[in-house]
Structure 1
């Protein structure tokens, strides 16, 4: 059975509206607040404060910083209306607990609906994890200039 996520499924979970390549944030909480706001204004979550609490609760359970400047915080939350992913990149390196001990500047925030505990979000997490284990893809993430390029990179590989 193929794990490929089709275009339709992909476009439901991520769109240009949920990508911000120039986050103003200078701390972990600011990053999460900024990306949460993107999710909120685009109708993916119902309550910013509640969702942030759920994300921070998950943050306390384990390291979400991977290697090479990428973090994948996630909130499985009753405040999520539609499972989705918000992507941000910061100019400044952000202090974050990470596997390689380095700060991060690319953040992929998963917002997972309580009822989507299994299929879609597990598939997405696996796909993103595989994508982020590819050094070449990570390098591309760091240098791509537009939201379209980021979407293209993801849709080709998820």
Structure 2
């Protein structure tokens, strides 16, 4: 599955008002509800928190990748947000979070599709240049291109 298939500019918010992990997940979930990817917000958010309980989804370099595999998801999608405030989040390097990549995964995609998407995004986040651009890029379309170019590099 290609990044273009699960991420569109409507699901990227570069000026989030969230000041906490809870607010960030709620704000990004609202984008996915508006887009029709999430059809049961409460159920999806519950599943995101169940996943968080298994271990933090904080990455490093100010990035978090929370995700929920849920029957509240109509079609697998991503939402990306950047906050105006550092958000406390358990991360691998102890950094606060400024960029959140929320995965909404429908149950039918919970194995191969989810793993492939996570692999593509993690591959992108392994590149410090991409992370630096992700934290400052002002055009949502360019963020999609950043993540997609890395995904294409991995399949070559």
TM range (shorter): over 0.9
Q: Distance in 2 between the 1:12 and 1:27 partners?
A: 29
The yes-or-no answer on 1:104 pairing with 2:91 is no
Q: Distance in 2 between the 1:29 and 1:65 partners?
A: 13
Say which of 122, 128, 132 aligns to 2:121: 128
2:76–2:109 Cα contact (<8 Å) kept: yes
2:41 counterpart residue number:
48
Deviating beyond 3 angstroms after TM superposition, the runs of 4 or more aligned structure 1 residues are none
Offset, 1:111: 0.5
Q: Distance in 2 between the 1:11 and 1:134 partners?
A: 20
Unaligned runs of 5+ in 2: 152-156
RMSD: 1.0
Q: Distance in 2 between the 1:55 and 1:156 partners?
A: 27
Q: Distance in 1 between the 2:71 and 2:7 partners?
A: 19
Unaligned runs of 5+ in 1: none
1:1-158 residue pairs with structure 2 within 5 A? 9-158=2-151
Deviations 1:54-92 (A, max 9, x none): 101111110210111000000000101001110000010
Offset, 1:11: 2.2
Q: Give the structure-2-normalised TM-score.
A: 0.93
